[in-house]
Structure 1
C-alpha cells in the first residue's frame, strides 16, 4: 500500500512541477559505464573497450593476470593516486573469465574482476511482462529489452508500474506489455520511440524484481 501511495505522490508532484529530461543520446553515457566493478559480474561485448582503476596508496607494483585469448591489454596510464589499465574484448565467444590484479606487497590481497563476454544478440530478448510473470527465471541474468523511457511520466497503456523503485533517480520504461521502474540511468531519459538496451534483473522479495540498466545498444 505504501508503495502505491509513493507512486501517486510522485505523479502528483509532476503535475505541479516541470521536470527537465536529458535528450537521449549515446554520447551521454558516462565513462564510468566502461569501468569494471568488483563484487559483480561485468558484461562486456565483443570489440568493446573497458578499463579497471587501481587506487595506489603506496609505491606498489602490479601484475595483471587475464586470458589473452579473450581480452587484450591495450595500454596503461599512471595518475597521481591511481593506475588505469585499458582493455579490449577480442573474442566473440560467450565466456566467463577473470582479471586478477596482484601487488608486489605481501600484505596486499589480489583484486579480482569477474567478466562475462557475450555478443548482444545472444542475450535473450524479453518483454517487461515476461519479467513480471516469471522474475525467478531471469534473476541475476542479463536480458535485452526494447522499451520507451518515460522519465517520471505516467504510462500510456497501463495504470500499473511493476518492479522496485530504488532511488529518486529511477525512471519508468514501457513496452506494449507493461511498464516498470528501472535504475542505473545517468540521466532522466525520455524517448519518443522504443530503445534497445541490456538490463540485469535482480529478485526483490517485496515487489518481485528490480531492473538495472547496463548498456544502451545502438
Structure 2
C-alpha cells in the first residue's frame, strides 16, 4: 500500500449553482478505520463521498491526503493519484460492461501494477463466494452480484483508502454479511474505509459516524446505536 496515514476534509463546501448543499468544516479518516456517512436521501452523501475520493472537486476547501492537497492537482495527476490512493464503489458498481467479473477485478490490479493480478483477482472472488461468477459479464449478473464484484475489486486493490456508496443496498442477508466481513478485512489490512449507508445498524458498528444534518457534517466516534444515529439526522428511511 502507498504509505500515507490520513485523509482529511478542511472547510469543504459543495454548491450546485447558488444552492449550498454540504458544509464539512472537518472530517478525518485514518488508516484501518471505518467511517459511516449517513443522512437523509438527497442530503449530499454521495457528493461528499465523490469529493473525498477526488472524483469531484468541492466548490471550496481542501481535500488532503497527509500533506497532499488533491484539489490543487491537475486532472491528469489527480487521476493517477486517485488510482493509487482509493478503491471506489459507486452505486452502479462501475463495472466495465464488456469484461467478465474476473477481468473487472484484474484490470484494476493491472492499472496499479500489482503482481500476480490474475491469481489475486481469482482468490478474492473466491473469498467472497463469487468464484461461480468469474466468467460472467455484468449484464449476466443481478444488481447485488454486480455490487459484490465491485467490492471484490476494491478488496483486491489493497489501496490506502476505500470509499463505498451503499455497498449493501441491493443485497440479501447472506451477501450483506459477506460485504460486512470484507469491510472488516479492509480495516484489518490497514485500509481506511468510508461507507455511505442507510443501514443504521451497520453504521452503528463503525469506528465513527459522520452525519449530514441540514447540510452540515458532524462526526462522532463509535460504536453507537442505530437509534442514536437516527436522532442526529432527518428523514432517514
TM-score normalised over the length of structure 2: 0.20
Larger Rg: 1
RCO comparison, higher one (Cα < 8 Å, 6+): 2
Structure with bigger strand share is 1
TM-score normalised over the length of structure 1: 0.21
